[in-house]
Structure 1
Protein backbone atom coordinates (compact mmCIF):
# COMPACT_ATOMS: atom_id res chain seq x y z
CA UNK A 1 0.00 0.00 0.00
CA UNK A 2 1.18 3.54 -0.72
CA UNK A 3 1.56 5.75 2.33
CA UNK A 4 1.04 9.38 1.36
CA UNK A 5 1.85 12.56 3.18
CA UNK A 6 -0.74 15.32 2.94
CA UNK A 7 1.21 17.27 0.31
CA UNK A 8 1.51 14.25 -1.98
CA UNK A 9 -2.17 13.43 -1.46
CA UNK A 10 -3.13 17.03 -2.26
CA UNK A 11 -1.25 16.83 -5.57
CA UNK A 12 -2.92 13.52 -6.44
CA UNK A 13 -6.29 15.04 -5.56
CA UNK A 14 -5.64 18.02 -7.80
CA UNK A 15 -4.54 15.77 -10.67
CA UNK A 16 -7.99 14.10 -10.62
CA UNK A 17 -9.14 17.15 -12.61
CA UNK A 18 -6.69 16.44 -15.42
CA UNK A 19 -3.03 16.64 -16.29
CA UNK A 20 -1.04 19.63 -15.12
CA UNK A 21 2.50 20.89 -14.74
CA UNK A 22 4.01 21.68 -11.36
CA UNK A 23 3.53 25.36 -12.12
CA UNK A 24 -0.17 24.83 -12.87
CA UNK A 25 -0.60 22.68 -9.76
CA UNK A 26 0.86 25.47 -7.62
CA UNK A 27 -1.63 27.96 -9.08
CA UNK A 28 -4.60 25.63 -8.59
CA UNK A 29 -3.48 24.80 -5.05
CA UNK A 30 -3.25 28.49 -4.20
CA UNK A 31 -6.85 29.04 -5.36
CA UNK A 32 -8.32 25.93 -3.75
CA UNK A 33 -6.35 24.94 -0.65
CA UNK A 34 -3.96 27.87 -0.22
CA UNK A 35 -5.89 29.54 2.57
CA UNK A 36 -5.53 26.56 4.89
CA UNK A 37 -2.77 24.38 3.47
CA UNK A 38 0.63 25.68 2.45
CA UNK A 39 2.42 24.21 -0.55
CA UNK A 40 5.78 25.62 -1.48
CA UNK A 41 7.31 25.39 -4.93
CA UNK A 42 10.11 23.16 -3.62
CA UNK A 43 7.61 20.81 -1.92
CA UNK A 44 5.54 20.49 -5.08
CA UNK A 45 8.47 19.66 -7.34
CA UNK A 46 10.02 17.30 -4.78
CA UNK A 47 6.70 15.46 -4.32
CA UNK A 48 6.05 15.29 -8.07
CA UNK A 49 9.41 13.61 -8.56
CA UNK A 50 8.75 11.19 -5.70
CA UNK A 51 5.23 10.40 -6.96
CA UNK A 52 6.58 9.76 -10.46
CA UNK A 53 9.32 7.51 -9.07
CA UNK A 54 6.67 5.51 -7.21
CA UNK A 55 4.54 5.17 -10.34
CA UNK A 56 1.63 7.16 -8.89
CA UNK A 57 1.85 9.77 -11.64
CA UNK A 58 3.46 9.84 -15.06
CA UNK A 59 5.04 12.80 -16.76
CA UNK A 60 5.07 13.63 -20.42
CA UNK A 61 7.82 15.25 -22.43
CA UNK A 62 8.97 18.66 -21.33
CA UNK A 63 6.98 21.42 -22.99
CA UNK A 64 7.48 25.18 -23.11
CA UNK A 65 9.80 26.47 -20.39
CA UNK A 66 10.81 22.84 -19.72
CA UNK A 67 7.50 22.19 -17.95
CA UNK A 68 6.48 18.57 -17.60
CA UNK A 69 2.76 17.85 -17.50
CA UNK A 70 1.81 15.05 -15.11
CA UNK A 71 -1.23 12.83 -15.05
CA UNK A 72 -2.54 10.39 -12.51
CA UNK A 73 -1.83 6.69 -12.98
CA UNK A 74 -4.22 3.95 -11.90
CA UNK A 75 -1.88 3.30 -8.94
CA UNK A 76 -2.09 6.98 -8.06
CA UNK A 77 -5.88 6.88 -8.09
CA UNK A 78 -5.76 3.81 -5.84
CA UNK A 79 -3.29 5.45 -3.43
CA UNK A 80 -5.43 8.60 -3.25
CA UNK A 81 -8.59 6.52 -2.70
CA UNK A 82 -6.86 4.77 0.22
CA UNK A 83 -5.57 8.06 1.68
CA UNK A 84 -8.93 9.86 1.51
CA UNK A 85 -10.58 7.05 3.51
CA UNK A 86 -8.21 7.59 6.45
CA UNK A 87 -9.41 9.87 9.25
CA UNK A 88 -7.63 13.23 9.06
CA UNK A 89 -5.30 14.23 11.87
CA UNK A 90 -6.23 16.97 14.28
CA UNK A 91 -5.26 20.56 13.61
CA UNK A 92 -2.78 22.55 15.63
CA UNK A 93 -3.01 26.30 15.80
CA UNK A 94 0.30 27.84 14.76
CA UNK A 95 -0.34 31.54 14.86
CA UNK A 96 2.75 33.71 15.44
CA UNK A 97 0.65 36.61 16.79
CA UNK A 98 -0.36 34.40 19.72
CA UNK A 99 3.31 34.08 20.70
CA UNK A 100 3.60 37.87 20.74
CA UNK A 101 0.47 38.11 22.86
CA UNK A 102 1.44 35.42 25.36
CA UNK A 103 4.70 37.28 25.91
CA UNK A 104 3.05 40.69 25.50
CA UNK A 105 4.10 41.75 28.96
CA UNK A 106 7.53 42.34 27.44
CA UNK A 107 6.11 44.80 24.89
CA UNK A 108 4.51 48.18 25.27
CA UNK A 109 0.77 48.14 24.55
CA UNK A 110 1.09 50.40 21.49
CA UNK A 111 3.52 47.98 19.78
CA UNK A 112 1.40 44.95 20.60
CA UNK A 113 -1.77 46.62 19.31
CA UNK A 114 0.08 47.65 16.12
CA UNK A 115 0.90 43.98 15.57
CA UNK A 116 -2.78 43.13 16.09
CA UNK A 117 -3.87 45.87 13.67
CA UNK A 118 -1.50 44.56 10.99
CA UNK A 119 -2.88 41.05 11.40
CA UNK A 120 -6.43 42.36 11.47
CA UNK A 121 -5.95 43.82 7.99
CA UNK A 122 -4.88 40.41 6.65
CA UNK A 123 -7.81 38.64 8.31
CA UNK A 124 -10.28 41.21 7.00
CA UNK A 125 -8.94 40.68 3.47
CA UNK A 126 -9.30 36.91 3.87
CA UNK A 127 -12.83 37.35 5.21
CA UNK A 128 -13.77 39.53 2.23
CA UNK A 129 -12.22 37.02 -0.20
CA UNK A 130 -14.12 34.07 1.31
CA UNK A 131 -17.37 36.05 1.27
CA UNK A 132 -16.89 37.04 -2.37
CA UNK A 133 -15.94 33.53 -3.44
CA UNK A 134 -18.95 32.04 -1.64
CA UNK A 135 -21.22 34.52 -3.39
CA UNK A 136 -20.11 33.26 -6.81
CA UNK A 137 -21.01 29.65 -5.85
CA UNK A 138 -18.21 28.28 -8.03
CA UNK A 139 -16.42 25.06 -7.18
CA UNK A 140 -19.27 22.94 -5.90
CA UNK A 141 -20.47 22.13 -2.40
CA UNK A 142 -17.17 20.79 -1.06
CA UNK A 143 -15.27 23.96 -1.88
CA UNK A 144 -18.27 25.92 -0.59
CA UNK A 145 -18.11 24.06 2.74
CA UNK A 146 -14.39 24.82 2.99
CA UNK A 147 -14.93 28.49 2.18
CA UNK A 148 -17.75 28.67 4.74
CA UNK A 149 -15.32 27.34 7.36
CA UNK A 150 -12.78 29.99 6.34
CA UNK A 151 -15.43 32.71 6.55
CA UNK A 152 -16.50 31.66 10.05
CA UNK A 153 -12.90 31.27 11.18
CA UNK A 154 -12.09 34.80 10.04
CA UNK A 155 -15.27 36.10 11.74
CA UNK A 156 -14.09 34.55 15.00
CA UNK A 157 -10.55 35.94 14.66
CA UNK A 158 -11.86 39.43 13.83
CA UNK A 159 -14.28 39.35 16.80
CA UNK A 160 -11.46 38.22 19.09
CA UNK A 161 -9.28 41.07 17.83
CA UNK A 162 -12.09 43.53 18.51
CA UNK A 163 -12.26 42.19 22.09
CA UNK A 164 -8.49 42.28 22.68
CA UNK A 165 -8.24 45.83 24.08
CA UNK A 166 -10.68 44.96 26.87
CA UNK A 167 -9.08 41.55 27.42
CA UNK A 168 -5.58 43.00 27.67
CA UNK A 169 -6.50 46.06 29.76
CA UNK A 170 -8.28 44.91 32.91
CA UNK A 171 -9.35 48.48 33.77
CA UNK A 172 -11.71 48.43 30.75
CA UNK A 173 -13.53 45.22 31.77
CA UNK A 174 -16.79 44.97 33.60
CA UNK A 175 -17.18 42.36 36.34
CA UNK A 176 -19.08 40.10 33.90
CA UNK A 177 -16.25 40.26 31.34
CA UNK A 178 -13.45 39.43 33.75
CA UNK A 179 -11.85 36.10 32.91
CA UNK A 180 -11.61 33.30 35.42
CA UNK A 181 -8.29 33.24 37.24
CA UNK A 182 -5.60 31.17 35.55
CA UNK A 183 -4.83 27.84 37.22
CA UNK A 184 -1.76 27.90 39.41
CA UNK A 185 1.30 25.99 38.31
CA UNK A 186 2.21 23.02 40.50
CA UNK A 187 4.87 23.67 43.10
CA UNK A 188 8.34 23.27 41.65
CA UNK A 189 7.16 23.72 38.04
Structure 2
Protein backbone atom coordinates (compact mmCIF):
# COMPACT_ATOMS: atom_id res chain seq x y z
CA UNK A 1 0.00 0.00 0.00
CA UNK A 2 1.36 3.40 -0.96
CA UNK A 3 0.60 6.30 1.37
CA UNK A 4 1.67 9.92 1.50
CA UNK A 5 4.40 10.28 4.11
CA UNK A 6 4.56 13.45 6.17
CA UNK A 7 7.25 14.91 8.39
CA UNK A 8 5.45 13.25 11.30
CA UNK A 9 5.77 9.93 9.46
CA UNK A 10 9.51 10.37 9.17
CA UNK A 11 9.85 11.40 12.82
CA UNK A 12 8.06 8.22 13.86
CA UNK A 13 10.18 6.10 11.51
CA UNK A 14 13.38 7.74 12.74
CA UNK A 15 12.57 7.26 16.40
CA UNK A 16 11.58 3.64 15.81
CA UNK A 17 14.86 3.05 14.02
CA UNK A 18 16.62 4.11 17.22
CA UNK A 19 14.24 2.33 19.57
CA UNK A 20 12.42 -0.64 17.98
CA UNK A 21 9.50 -2.05 19.94
CA UNK A 22 8.32 1.34 21.17
CA UNK A 23 4.67 2.05 22.01
CA UNK A 24 2.80 5.16 20.85
CA UNK A 25 2.85 6.40 24.45
CA UNK A 26 6.64 6.04 24.55
CA UNK A 27 6.88 7.82 21.19
CA UNK A 28 4.89 10.73 22.60
CA UNK A 29 7.21 11.01 25.60
CA UNK A 30 10.31 10.80 23.41
CA UNK A 31 8.98 13.42 21.00
CA UNK A 32 8.17 15.78 23.88
CA UNK A 33 11.72 15.34 25.23
CA UNK A 34 13.49 15.68 21.89
CA UNK A 35 12.10 16.96 18.61
CA UNK A 36 9.10 18.92 19.91
CA UNK A 37 11.27 22.02 20.28
CA UNK A 38 12.21 21.93 16.60
CA UNK A 39 9.07 20.44 15.05
CA UNK A 40 5.53 20.79 16.40
CA UNK A 41 3.41 17.64 16.32
CA UNK A 42 -0.11 17.34 17.65
CA UNK A 43 -0.54 14.66 20.27
CA UNK A 44 -3.31 12.97 18.27
CA UNK A 45 -0.96 12.63 15.28
CA UNK A 46 1.59 10.77 17.40
CA UNK A 47 -1.02 8.16 18.30
CA UNK A 48 -2.53 7.82 14.80
CA UNK A 49 0.65 7.76 12.75
CA UNK A 50 2.21 4.44 13.87
CA UNK A 51 -0.96 2.50 13.01
CA UNK A 52 -1.14 4.23 9.62
CA UNK A 53 2.49 3.37 8.91
CA UNK A 54 1.93 -0.23 10.04
CA UNK A 55 -1.04 -0.55 7.69
CA UNK A 56 1.24 0.62 4.86
CA UNK A 57 3.85 -2.00 5.74
CA UNK A 58 6.45 0.45 7.04
CA UNK A 59 6.13 -0.78 10.63
CA UNK A 60 5.30 -4.09 12.26
CA UNK A 61 3.14 -4.37 15.35
CA UNK A 62 3.25 -6.65 18.37
CA UNK A 63 0.54 -6.62 21.02
CA UNK A 64 1.84 -7.38 24.49
CA UNK A 65 0.46 -7.34 28.03
CA UNK A 66 -1.96 -9.32 30.12
CA UNK A 67 -4.47 -6.77 31.38
CA UNK A 68 -3.63 -3.60 29.54
CA UNK A 69 -2.79 -4.35 25.95
CA UNK A 70 0.09 -2.37 24.48
CA UNK A 71 1.05 -2.27 20.84
CA UNK A 72 4.76 -2.09 20.16
CA UNK A 73 5.96 -0.82 16.79
CA UNK A 74 9.14 -1.74 14.91
CA UNK A 75 10.38 -0.31 11.63
CA UNK A 76 10.39 -2.70 8.66
CA UNK A 77 12.98 -2.83 5.85
CA UNK A 78 10.50 -0.85 3.72
CA UNK A 79 10.26 1.73 6.49
CA UNK A 80 14.05 1.91 6.68
CA UNK A 81 14.18 2.44 2.92
CA UNK A 82 11.60 5.25 3.04
CA UNK A 83 13.43 6.93 5.92
CA UNK A 84 16.81 6.65 4.17
CA UNK A 85 15.36 8.16 0.97
CA UNK A 86 13.91 11.08 2.94
CA UNK A 87 17.20 11.65 4.79
CA UNK A 88 19.13 11.63 1.50
CA UNK A 89 16.82 14.21 -0.11
CA UNK A 90 17.56 17.89 0.32
CA UNK A 91 15.64 20.19 2.62
CA UNK A 92 14.64 22.92 0.18
CA UNK A 93 11.86 24.33 2.34
CA UNK A 94 12.84 27.39 4.34
CA UNK A 95 11.74 27.43 7.98
CA UNK A 96 8.62 29.38 8.82
CA UNK A 97 8.75 31.82 11.71
CA UNK A 98 5.74 30.77 13.74
CA UNK A 99 6.01 33.08 16.72
CA UNK A 100 2.94 34.33 18.56
CA UNK A 101 4.84 37.25 20.11
CA UNK A 102 5.99 38.49 16.71
CA UNK A 103 2.48 38.08 15.33
CA UNK A 104 1.08 40.18 18.19
CA UNK A 105 3.65 42.91 17.54
CA UNK A 106 2.67 42.82 13.87
CA UNK A 107 -0.90 43.61 14.87
CA UNK A 108 0.01 46.41 17.26
CA UNK A 109 0.94 44.95 20.65
CA UNK A 110 3.45 46.98 22.66
CA UNK A 111 6.88 45.61 21.68
CA UNK A 112 8.54 46.50 25.01
CA UNK A 113 6.13 44.46 27.14
CA UNK A 114 6.32 41.47 24.84
CA UNK A 115 10.10 41.74 24.45
CA UNK A 116 10.72 41.52 28.18
CA UNK A 117 8.63 38.36 28.56
CA UNK A 118 10.13 36.77 25.44
CA UNK A 119 13.64 37.57 26.62
CA UNK A 120 13.04 35.68 29.88
CA UNK A 121 11.52 32.71 28.07
CA UNK A 122 14.36 32.44 25.57
CA UNK A 123 16.95 32.76 28.34
CA UNK A 124 15.26 29.89 30.21
CA UNK A 125 15.13 27.71 27.11
CA UNK A 126 18.80 28.44 26.37
CA UNK A 127 19.67 27.27 29.89
CA UNK A 128 17.74 24.03 29.29
CA UNK A 129 19.59 23.39 26.04
CA UNK A 130 22.99 24.22 27.52
CA UNK A 131 22.31 21.93 30.47
CA UNK A 132 21.36 19.12 28.10
CA UNK A 133 24.59 19.67 26.19
CA UNK A 134 26.58 19.80 29.44
CA UNK A 135 25.23 16.52 30.80
CA UNK A 136 25.81 14.86 27.44
CA UNK A 137 22.32 13.41 27.19
CA UNK A 138 22.45 13.07 23.43
CA UNK A 139 24.50 10.08 22.36
CA UNK A 140 24.05 10.37 18.59
CA UNK A 141 25.64 12.97 16.35
CA UNK A 142 22.37 14.10 14.71
CA UNK A 143 20.62 15.14 17.92
CA UNK A 144 23.82 16.80 19.21
CA UNK A 145 24.13 18.83 16.00
CA UNK A 146 20.44 19.79 16.14
CA UNK A 147 20.94 20.86 19.76
CA UNK A 148 23.73 23.20 18.66
CA UNK A 149 21.35 24.73 16.09
CA UNK A 150 18.74 25.21 18.83
CA UNK A 151 21.33 26.89 21.08
CA UNK A 152 22.36 29.23 18.26
CA UNK A 153 18.69 30.04 17.60
CA UNK A 154 18.06 30.87 21.26
CA UNK A 155 21.14 33.11 21.41
CA UNK A 156 19.94 34.97 18.33
CA UNK A 157 16.45 35.31 19.80
CA UNK A 158 17.90 36.65 23.05
CA UNK A 159 19.85 39.30 21.14
CA UNK A 160 16.77 40.30 19.14
CA UNK A 161 14.39 40.56 22.11
CA UNK A 162 17.03 42.28 24.23
CA UNK A 163 17.62 44.90 21.53
CA UNK A 164 13.87 45.41 21.10
CA UNK A 165 13.38 45.86 24.85
CA UNK A 166 16.21 48.43 24.96
CA UNK A 167 14.92 50.29 21.89
CA UNK A 168 11.65 50.99 23.62
CA UNK A 169 13.19 52.42 26.81
- 8 Å Cα contact 1:26/1:39 also seen in 2: no
- 8 Å Cα contact 2:115/2:165 also seen in 1: no
Structure 1 unaligned residues grouped into runs of 5+: 173-189
Q: 1:102 aligns with which of 83, 99, 106?
A: 106
Q: Paired residue for 1:57?
A: 59
Q: 2:84 aligns with which of 81, 90, 99?
A: 81
Q: Paired residue for 2:155?
A: 155
Cα-to-partner distance string for 1:145-185 (whole Å, 9 max, x where unaligned): 11111111111111111111344x4xx6xxxxxxxxxxxxx
TM-score by length of 2: 0.87
- 8 Å Cα contact 1:97/1:115 also seen in 2: yes
TM-score by length of 1: 0.78
Cα-to-partner distance string for 1:104-127 (whole Å, 9 max, x where unaligned): 2xx4x4xx4333333223211210
Secondary structure of 1:91's aligned partner: coil
Q: Paired residue for 2:96?
A: 92
Q: Which has the higher contact order (CA 8 A, sep 6+)?
A: 2
Q: What CA distance in whole angstroms lies between the structure 2 residues aligned with 1:26 and 1:149?
A: 23
Count of residues in correspondence between the two structures: 164
Aligned 1:1-189 pairs, distance under 5 A? 3-17=4-18, 18-63=20-65, 65-88=68-91, 89-104=93-108, 107=109, 109=110, 112-139=111-138, 140-167=140-167, 169=168
Q: What CA distance in whole angstroms lies between the structure 2 residues aligned with 1:14 and 1:130?
A: 20
Secondary structure of 2:74's aligned partner: strand
* Deviating more after overlay: 130-139 vs 145-154: 130-139
Secondary structure of 2:33's aligned partner: helix
- 8 Å Cα contact 1:3/1:83 also seen in 2: no
Point out the structure with max Rg over C-alpha.
1
Secondary structure of 1:87's aligned partner: coil
